[in-house]
Copies of this chain bind each other. A is one copy, B any other.
Amino acid sequence: MAIITVVGAGVMGSALTFPLSDNGHQVRLVGTHLDNEIIGSCLDRRYHPRLKRQIAENVTPYYSHDLAEAMRGAEVIVLGVNSRGVHWAAEHIGPHLVPGQIIHMVTKGMETIDGKLTILPDVVHDNLPEPIRDQVHYSAIGGPCIAGELAARHHSAVVYCSRNPEILPRLRSYFGTPYYHIWTSTDLVGVEVCVALKNPYALAAGLAAGVLEKQGGADESGAQMHNYAAAIFAQGLAETAIIVKALGGGMETVYSLPGAGDLFVTTQGGRNSRMGRLLGMGLAYSDAVEEMPNETIEGVDAVVSIMPGVKAMIERGEIPADSVPLLTEMHRILTRNQPIDFDFNSFFSKLPFTPPEPSKA
């Protein structure tokens, strides 16, 4: 049995303690400085207030000031912080890492560093102390996995990925259970790009519900706006394919669990969808944010951190200028407080399709 330390007691990091505990591992759940209330509840009542569930048997909760102790002897450090917490996490785990440990990323996102779109495992690498950064292993999780459902031990199918294939069977054996199905892949870039982009595109698909509400909801025929959402879903996946391909990832990653599957599950609810709905109703982003106080909307953070890197790719000619109109539109809405103004006809221009004629509106 192994010692596995989860850093970040949000829903996803905490949910991973369930299969680990079921497999009999010694699990340590460490809150960040923002998780004190959660850790307090886990210590007092063994109840996770955000998962709304008792924590599993073999799990020991730790406050952040006990991080060093919690990391001692761990084979795997799971990073379960949100995308804003990655630098904090790298800074705090850095001093306590020992050679051979695996850093397993739950956190989704990408950052633009010196004009280069950078996946989060590489961001963590670059932010660790020099002596240790090349002596630990990096891996990440992609695929459709709503945390509460994993904690409820409902069937969930995901992909664990690393550039180092040697560590993957070990990770799979630690985490895999009869309800948590783990495929492994060395397409780290493909998986990480897919899972980072799912949040902005799921947010975009969420616009449809708001647009319908703004029009007064369904008419007497009951017509919804699923076609609108589906066009965005398809364009989001097609833009994902363009960026994945340009960065060297595989198309199979796009049209399976990490791409299509994860985008699908992310459109089925959650904070991105709620933000999308508010924007679709016509709220400016600055007003929509006030309706969701104290909530991190990963889709918003992702657009802001990814768009500069995508623009740089366009400037370097790595992808065509007009190949990501949906991401560009989301960036405009979210950073300039402007109302949504899609040109559906701008979609799919890089596929072997002939586009619609200019809109006759």
Contact between A222 and B52 (Cβ–Cβ < 8 Å)? Answer: yes
* B-chain residues with CB within 8 Å of residue A261 when the two chains form the complex: 230-231, 233-234
Question: Which of A146, A151, A264 counts the most chain B CB atoms within 10 A?
Answer: A264
A185 CB-CB contact with B under 8 Å: yes
Given A233-B260, A255-B255, A255-B259: A227 in contact with B154 (beta carbons within 8 A): yes
* B-chain residues with CB within 8 Å of residue A181 when the two chains form the complex: 231, 344-345, 347, 356, 359
> In angstroms, how far is the closest chain B Cβ from the Cβ of A119?
18
A168 CB-CB contact with B under 8 Å: yes
* A327 CA / B77 CA spacing, docked (Å): 39
* Cβ-closest chain B residue relative to A183: B353
Determine, out of A123-131, A155-163, A311-319, the stretch whose residues face the partner at the interface.
A155-163
Contact between A352 and B234 (Cβ–Cβ < 8 Å)? Answer: no
Contact between A234 and B221 (Cβ–Cβ < 8 Å)? Answer: no
* A178 CA / B357 CA spacing, docked (Å): 10
Bitwise interface map of A from 136 to 166 toward B, beta carbon under 8 Å scored 1, else 0: 0000000111101111101111010000000
Instruction: Specify how many copies of this chain sit in the oligomer.
Output: 2
* Cβ-closest chain B residue relative to A190: B352
* A100 CA / B168 CA spacing, docked (Å): 59
Bitwise interface map of A from 173 to 206 toward B, beta carbon under 8 Å scored 1, else 0: 1001110011111010000000000000000000
> In angstroms, how far is the closest chain B Cβ from the Cβ of A193?
14
A333 CB-CB contact with B under 8 Å: no
A53 CB-CB contact with B under 8 Å: yes
Given A183-B348, A250-B352, A356-B181: A157 in contact with B223 (beta carbons within 8 A): no
Given A151-B221, A152-B223, A241-B255: A264 in contact with B183 (beta carbons within 8 A): no
A219 CB-CB contact with B under 8 Å: yes
Given A178-B361, A221-B152, A344-B181: A256 in contact with B227 (beta carbons within 8 A): no
A320 CB-CB contact with B under 8 Å: no
> In angstroms, how far is the closest chain B Cβ from the Cβ of A230?
3
* Cβ-closest chain B residue relative to A345: B181
* B-chain residues with CB within 8 Å of residue A52 when the two chains form the complex: 220-222
Contact between A252 and B351 (Cβ–Cβ < 8 Å)? Answer: yes
Query: Which of chain A's residues 214-262 have a Cβ closer than 8 Å to chain B?
Result: 219-231, 233-235, 237-238, 241, 250-252, 254-257, 259-262
* A212 CA / B155 CA spacing, docked (Å): 11
* A279 CA / B235 CA spacing, docked (Å): 32
* Cβ-closest chain B residue relative to A240: B255
Question: Contacting A223 at CB < 8 Å: which of B151, B219, B225, B235?
Answer: B151
Contact between A353 and B234 (Cβ–Cβ < 8 Å)? Answer: no
Question: Contacting A256 at CB < 8 Å: which of B168, B234, B357?
Answer: B234
Known: A157-B234, A227-B265. 7 other contacts (CB 8 A): A154-B228, A157-B230, A176-B357, A183-B354, A224-B269, A241-B255, A252-B351
